[in-house]
Structure 1
Amino acid sequence: MSGNSIGGVRRAQLITTYGVGALIAVESNSYMIAGIDRWPDAMDGNENVVHEPRLQQQLRVSGFRLPPSSQYDGRGDVPVIRFPVFHSCPESGTLKEHWKWGNHRGTAKCKVHDRELVPSRFVVCCTNGHIDDFPYFRWVHAGSPPGSASEHEMTIESAGRSAALRDIVIACSCGKRVSMEGALSRGALKGIARCTGRRPWLGSDQNQECNEVPRGMQRGASGVWFSEVRSAISIPPWSEAIHKLIEKHWKALGKTRHLRDTIEDMDLARGKSFGIDEIMKAVEQRRRIEAGLEDYANADLKAEEYEALIRTTPETARDQDFVCVPAENLEMDPALAVAQTMRVKRLREVRVLEAFTRIEPPSPADDRKRLASLYREDERPDWLPAIEVIGEGVFLRLDQERLAEWESRPEVTERVAPLDRGYRQRFWDRGTEPDRVITPRLVLIHTLAHAIINEWSLDSGYPAAALRERLYTSNSMAGLLIYTATSDSAGSLGGIVAQVESGDLDGSIRRAIERVSWCSADPLCIETQTSGVDNLNRAACHACVLLPETSCEEYNTLLDRALLTGLHENNSVGFFSWRAAIPSTGD
C-alpha cells in the first residue's frame, strides 16, 4: 500500500478479489485500490513481466505485469485511497466526511470520545462502474434538502434490536429522521439522488456524466465489484523453452538491429538443445506478433488451444510450460462416449484483469462502455495486471458422432430452447445482438464438467474451488479441460493427472454422472423449467451441480443435469441415458 504499509493481500487477489476499484477492509478501516497508472515504478523490473503473445495482441498491450510484491520493502506497494469518505463515531453517532474529523493519515479517530471511527456501511453504485458515498443528506430529506449540507449535522443511530435496516436511523440536526429500510432496493433512490459519475480510484478529477439512478449497497457486498478477467493457456510454440528464454531477455533482443551478435555476446545458446539460428527465428516470430503482422487480435484462442490439446506434446525440456500426452493403458467404457483422453502433465495459464463492473457481473451481452477502466484514459499504460498459474489437468474429447445423433433428437433441442431464448433476451435487453447460439452440446459438456469437478474434488485432494473448467464447444469441437486453478503449490500436487494414471477414470466419470442423477432438492430441481440468473439454467442448483464462481467460466449459468441423465418420463433427453439401467459404482 502507498506510504506506510497498512495491510497485505496475495498477488492473485489483486486480479480476482481486490483489484483496481475494489474495496478492501483492513482492520477497522476501508480502502479502495487505486488505478494501475498510479502503481509503483518498482514493478518495472523484468522479474515482474509476464508474456502471453496471443493474449497480448487481443488486449492490445505489449505485455502483462504481476501485481507488486512486498519484496520491495514498501517501494512496490499498491496505492490505495480511503473510501468511503463518510465515517461515524461509535459513541456519539456523528456522521461526516473523514477529513472533517481532523484525520488525514493513519487510523481515523474521534478526538472528543477517543474512539476509532467507523467507515460508512453503505455506498451507491451504478451499472456504468461509478461509485460514491451513500447520499445520507438527501435520503433524510427525501431528495429536497433545505439549504446546503454544510449547514446541517447528521447522525447514524442503531436501535440495537436487530441488524435489520429498519433499526438503523439517519437523523439530521433539523429534526428529520429516516430509517434505512428500503434504501438498498432497486429504484429506491429514484427522485432522491442521481449518479455523480465518480471514479475515485482514478482521482477526484475523473468524474463522468451519468444519467443512471444509483443503487444503494453495503460496501462489503459482492455486487460492489466484479472482475472482468481474460485468460489463455500457453501452447506451442509459446510454451516451449526457446520462447521462455527470449522472453527472459526480451529487452535486449526485442529491438536490437544486430540480433545474431547480441545472441552470441549473451551466449544464449550455451547448454541448450537449440542453436543461434533457432533463437533468431523465434525472436523474429515474436517481433511479428508484437508488430501486428500475425493476426492474433481476431484469432479464436480456444480453437488453437483445442488443436494443441488433441495433439501430443511430449516433455523435451524441464522448463517447458505445456506437456500433453495421451493416457496410456487406459480402457474406457464405450458407453461414456469419451473418444480421447489426454494427460496435461504441465500447463501455464495467464489471467489478466482487463476491467471490472459493478452491481451485475460482466456478460458477453454488455456494451464495452459498461466496463470500468483500470486507468486514466490520458495515461493509458501499455500493460495490464496479470498472474500466471502453473498446474496440471485432464482433457476429455467426446465422440462427435454420438453427440451429433443425440443433438438431433427433437426432445433434446426442445429441452435447451428456453436457455437459448433466455440468453438471446439478455442481449436484446441491452440493445446488442447475441454472440452465439446456446446448443445442447454446450450445455451438456458444461454440466458434465461441473459433475466431474465435484467428483474429483472428493477423490483428488483438491477443493472444488482449486479446480477449474475450460470448455471447447463448437461444430468442430467437443471437449473439456479440468485443471488446477490455484497459483500456489496446490497446483502441482498431481491429484488431477492421478485420476487418469489410477486406471479408474471411467469409474470416476460414471460416479460423477450417478451423483447428479439425484438431487436433495428433487423433484423441484429436476422439474424446474428455468432458474438462475436471467433464467439461464434448468435442472441445476447448489445441491447438485453449481460450483464456486472461480471454477466456472460461465458464471454458473447454462447448466442442466437432465441432459446428462435424462428425465423419468423421457430418458432419451439424457446423453448418458444408459445410466438408469446401470447400478451405481460409488456412494
Structure 2
Amino acid sequence: MSRPIRKTQAIAPFGPGAMVDFTGPASLIHAGLDAWPFDEANPEHREFRIDDEKRLARRLGVDFFVQPPDFRRPDRNGGQQRNLNLMLPFLRFPLWHVCPRCGRMHKGRYHDRDAPFCKGPISTGAEAGKMHPPRKTFQVRFVAACTKGHIQDFPWVEWVFEGKPGGWEPDGVERWLRMTSSGTASLAGVMVLAEERGESGRSSVVARRSLAGAFTTEADPAGGTGVSTALSQMGANCTGVNPVLAIGSELRPAPGNCGEPLFALLKSAANLYFPSVVSSIYIPDINDNSLPQDLLDLLDDRDIRNRLREGAMDSDNGLVSVRSVTNALAKYHPESTVQPAVLAEAANRHLLHGILLEDRKTRTFLDQRIKTAQDGQLPLGAVEAAVRSMNWSIDPALLLDALRAQLSGHGKNGAQESDDSMIEEASYRQQEYRVFSRDLQVGYPKTDLDIRGADLAQYDTLVRDAFSRIGLLHKLRETRAFEGFSRLYSTGLTRNEQRALFMEEQKNWLPAIVVRGEGIFLQFSETRLQKWVDLHGADLEGRLSLMRQNMDALAVRRHQEPRAISPRFVLLHTFAHLLINQLVQNCGYGSASLRERIYSAEGDSPMAGILIYTAAGDSEGTMGGLVRMGQQDRLEEVIRLAIDKARWCSTDPVCIESKGQGPDNCNLAACHTCALLPETSCEEQNRLLDRGVVVGTIDNPAMGFFADWS
C-alpha cells in the first residue's frame, strides 16, 4: 500500500508502533525494524547509515543509526540510480471493518492492501434480508491496548456475550457481527449484534450489547496497585497481540502469555502511543591544535571519513593509504589543496581507533582490560594485542590516548561519558553545555558545529549583568533517534521491553534523522542566579509549591516518578519561551520552527543555560537569521522587549494570579497570550512555566530575576 509520509515523521510522531490515518481512508500501523528496507550487508544502503554520532550511540547501546530511506522512482532518462522504490513497512490495523450500508462487520488481514467489500444482508427496514450492491467497508474506531505496549482489536465477541461466547465465532457466512448507531454522541448509541442465518435464510440476533461502559476503569478490587477495566472484568485480558510485528495473525498467533488488563481506546486517542525520541547535538570527536582548519574539516566530512575507513579496512596493513586518500579527495573534494600524504597521516592518527571500537569483540576485550587494570586506565599492552588482531602496522602508542578517551569515560570535551552517567539526561547534557561554554575555533572541525563567542563587553548592562556568555552557533547538527514507545502511560517499560515491541531480532542500530541549523546559546551568570535565590528563596519556594503539587499529581496519574522543580529551571524555561515568542516577531521565523534546549543543574557541576535553535532536514541547514539576532546590536532589544511584554499579559490579573493553568494545571502565570509555544518547540509540553519568577508578581514585584531591569 503506497502512502506518503515525511522522513522526519517516520521518527516522531509516526515512528514504529504508531497508527497513522491515511487518505483512502486507511488506518495503518508502522511495522517493526525487521521489515525495514535496510540491509547492513548491502553496500548501497550505507548512505542511510549515521556512523559518526558515537556519543548518542553509546548512550542507547547501539553501533549506529539508520535514516528512513526516501522514496525514489526510476529515472526516465536511464541515469544510474540506486535504492529505488524503497518504502517503509505499514500494516493494516485495526482489522475489523464495518459496512456503511448495513453495518455488517468484516475482519481483514494485516497485509491486505484494500478493505473488504460487503454485500449484506440488510438487517432492518423493508429490504431486510436482501443483499445490497457491493460497498467498501471502513475500519472501526475502537481498539484495545495494555500497559506492556501490546495493541489488538477490540474483543467484539467477548463483549457482546459478556465474556461467555460459548464457542460462538463469526465465520462471515453463517455467523457475523453487525454494528449499528443511533446517531447519538454517547457510546450507548453504538450497538453491536451477533447474528446467525436462520433456516428461512433470514438473519436472527443471538446477542446484542451497546458499548456503554466499555471504557470504564476502576481501582483493583483486590486492593492492589493495578486497575480493573470493563474488559478485564469479563475475562478479556491481553494475549500478547502485537501488529507491529504481525503477531496475532493466522501465521503468527499471539503467545497468550501477557495477561495484562485490556483498556478500550479510540484509535485516535492521545495515550495510545508515546514515542521515546532522544535528541543529541553533535560534538566533534577530533581535537588537534596542530592541524589546520581545512584538514580538520576533511577528517569530519562524512563521505571522506567513510571512504578512508573503508580503505583502511580493505588494506593489507590496516592503514589509510595515500592512494585511497587521493581517490577520496578526487571524488568528493577535488577543490581541496590538502596534500594526500598529510591527510593520510592525520587519518591514521584520528580515525583508526574508531574502527577498532566498531568491532564488538575488540571493544569487549578492551573494556575488560580496563576493569582489571589497577589504575583503571587502558594499558598499552591491550592496544598492542588489538592492533595485532587486526594485522595493522600502526604504532599502538598512537592510538592509546584516543582509545583511553573513548573507553575510560572522558571524551575530548572533558565531559563524563561512562555508560552509567549516560542514562541521566542531565549528565548527558553536561557535555554539550561544556562545549557551548567555550569557542570551537582552534583544533576542532567546523563542518557540523561552529561556535563563536560574542564579546560581552560590547553588549549593554542588561546582558552583561544577567549572562556570563553569549554563544553564536553558526552551525549545529542535531540527531533525533527513536528509542522505543509505550502505550497508555509514557513510562513504565524498560529499554529491553520497549525494543521487543518493534524488533523481533535484536539489532545494533536504531532509526534516526539528522537536521542542521543554527542557534543562540545564553549562559546565565551563576553569581547573579545564586544571589537571586539567596534573596528570594523562601518566596520562590512558596510560589512554586503549587506547581509541584500539580506536577506530583500528574506523575501519580501517569505512573511516573516525581521530579524536582527548582526556581532555576522554571526561570530558564520561562525565559526561553518569552525569548522565542519575541524572536518570532523580530526575525520572521514561524513559532513552530524554533526549539528550546534547557541546561539546568545544581550542585558540584551547575548548569544554567538555554539554547534557542532552528534546524531543518536540508543538508545546508538554515539561512543565518537567528544568529544575526544574537549579535550585539540586536539581542539587547529582543531581550528587553521580551521582558517588557512579560510584565503584563492581556489576560492579567487572571493570568498572573493563577494557582494553576495550562496542561494539567502545571503552569502558574503562563497562558497562550504570554508564554506558551507550539508543543513541538517545548521540551516540557508547555508545562513548568511562570512569568512570576522572571518579572515578579503583583504582590511581590521584586521576586523576578529581571525585576530590577526596566
TM-score class normalised by the smaller sequence: 0.7 to 0.9
**Following the alignment from structure 1 to structure 2, what is the Cα–Cα distance between the partners of residues 483 and 61?**
27
Pairing of 1:152-301 with structure 2 (within 5 A)? 152-160=175-183, 162-173=184-195, 174=205, 176-186=207-217, 187-192=229-234, 193-204=236-247, 205=252, 207=255, 209-237=257-285, 240-244=297-301, 245-247=304-306, 249-253=308-312, 258-262=317-321, 264-267=323-326, 268=328, 271-272=337-338, 275-287=343-355, 290=358, 291=363, 293-295=407-409, 296=417, 297=419, 298-299=421-422, 300-301=427-428
Residues in 2 aligned to 1:188 and 1:240: alpha-carbon distance in whole angstroms:
61
CA contact (8 A) 1:195 1:210 kept: yes
Task: Tell me, in whole angstroms, the C-alpha distance in 2 between the residues paired with 1:533 and 1:457.
Answer: 23
**Kept in 2: contact 1:499–1:505 (CA 8 A):** yes
The residue number in structure 2 matching 1:463 is 590
In the alignment, structure 1 segments of 5+ residues that lack a partner are: 583-587
Report the secondary structure of 1:447's partner residue: helix
Tell me the TM-score normalized by structure 2.
0.73
**Deviating more after overlay: 72-81 vs 303-312:** 72-81
Q: 1:49 to 1:331 in 2, by over 3 A?
A: same
CA distance 1:374–1:36, shift in 2 (3 Å): farther
Q: For residues 282 and 208 of structure 2, what CA distance do their matches in structure 1 show?
A: 59
Residue range with higher mean Cα deviation, 449-458 or 163-172:
163-172
The one-letter amino acid of 2:260's match is: E
CA 1:263 to 1:571, structure 2 compared with 1: closer, same or farther past 3 Å? farther
The amino acid that maps onto 2:114 is G
Alignment partner for residue 348 of structure 1, among 477, 481, 485?
477
2:17–2:502: 8 Å Cα contact kept in structure 1?
Answer: no
1:49 aligns with 2:49: yes
- Residues 449, 374 of structure 1: alpha-carbon distance in 2 compared, 3 angstrom cutoff: farther
2: distance between equivalents of 1:253 and 1:534?
A: 56
Given the alignment, which residue of 11, 15, 19 partners 2:7? 11
Q: State the superposition RMSD in angstroms.
A: 3.3
**What is the number of residues matched between the two proteins?**
569
8 Å CA contact 1:333, 1:506 repeated in 2: no
Indicate how the Cα distance of structure 1 residues 6 and 108 shifts in structure 2: closer, same or farther if over 3 A, else same.
farther
CA distance in structure 2 between the aligned counterparts of 1:142 and 1:553, rounded to whole angstroms: 44
**SS of residue matched to 2:72:** helix
Partner letter of residue 276 of structure 1?
Answer: A
* Post-superposition offset of 1:34: 0.9
Q: 1:508 to 1:180 in 2, by over 3 A?
A: farther
1:508-536 CA deviation, whole Å, 9 max, x = no partner?
12222333334455444433334566664
Corresponding residue number in structure 2 for 1:77: 87
Whether 1:20 aligns to 2:16 is yes
Give the deviation of 1:537 after TM superposition. 3.3
Residues of 2 paired with 1:123 and 1:381: CA distance? Answer: 29
Match of 2:513 in 1: 387
Aligned to 1:585: none
Aligned: 1:445 with 2:572: yes
Residues 82, 462 of structure 1: CA spacing in aligned structure 2 closer, same or farther, 3 A cutoff? same
Q: Structure 1 126/459 Cα, relative in aligned 2: closer, same or farther at 3 Å?
A: farther
* Distance verdict in 2 for CA 1:485–1:37, change over 3 Å: same
**CA–CA distance in 2 between the matches of 1:165 and 1:432?**
30
* Aligned residue identity for 2:170: S
Give, in angstroms, the shift of residue 150 of structure 1.
2.6
In structure 1, the partner of 2:114 is 106
2:690 aligned residue: 560
Report the Cα distance in structure 1 between the residues aligned to 2:408 and 2:309, rounded to whole angstroms: 18
Q: Is the 8 A contact 2:238 2:256 kept in 1?
A: no
Q: Deviations over 1:559-579 (max 9, x none)?
A: 222211211111233212236
Give deviations 1:169-226, integer Å, cap 9, x for gaps.
3233235443334534544434133223221111324656334322222212332222
SS of 1:91's equivalent?
coil
Listed as ranges, the gaps of 5+ residues in structure 2 are 75-83, 120-131, 196-204, 218-228, 287-295, 330-335, 368-406, 410-416
Distance 2:636 2:256 in 1: 56
SS of the residue 2:350 aligns to: helix
Which residue type is aligned with residue 78 of structure 1?
L
Decide whether the 8 Å contact of 2:312 with 2:320 is kept in 1. no
Q: Distance in 1 between matches of 2:502 and 2:552?
A: 32
- Using the size of structure 1 for normalisation, the TM-score is 0.87
The range that moved more, 120-129 or 10-19, is: 120-129
Question: Who is 1:410 aligned against?
Answer: 538
Give the whole-Å Cα distance in 2 for the aligned partners of 1:368 and 1:428: 21
User: Cα deviations across residues 86-109 of structure 1 (Å, max 9, x unaligned)?
Assistant: 011111111131259xx9443433
SS in 2 for 1:81: strand
Q: Higher relative contact order by CA 8 Å / sep ≥ 6: 1 or 2?
A: 1
Distance (Å, rounded) in 1 between the aligned partners of 2:442 and 2:73: 35
Instruction: Give the Cα separation in 2 of the matches to 1:283 and 1:387.
Output: 23
1:211–1:9 distance in 2 versus 1, CA, 3 Å: same
Letter aligned with residue 348 of structure 1: R
- Whichever residue aligns with residue 568 of structure 2, its letter is R
Deviation at 1:148, TM superposition (A): 2.2
Cα offset for 1:369? 6.2
Distance 1:218 1:563, change over 3 A: same
Q: Greater CA radius of gyration, 1 or 2?
A: 2
Structure 2 distance, partners of 1:472, 1:280, is: 36
> Are 1:150 and 2:170 counterparts?
yes
Aligned 1:496-515 pairs, distance under 5 A: 496-501=626-631, 503-515=633-645
Is 1:307 the counterpart of 2:434? The answer is yes
- Superposed CA deviations along residues 244-277 of structure 1, whole A, max 9, x for unmatched, are 3324544444686623354543425773386322
2:148 is the alignment partner of 1:128: yes
The 3 A distance-change label for structure 1 pair 367 and 546 is farther
What CA distance in whole angstroms lies between the structure 1 residues aligned with 2:28 and 2:446?
Answer: 40
Secondary structure of the residue aligned to 1:324 is strand
Give distance in 2, aligned partners of 1:367 and 1:421. 27
Q: What is residue 448 of structure 2 aligned with on the other side?
A: 321
Pair 29,427 (structure 1): closer, same or farther in 2 beyond 3 Å: closer
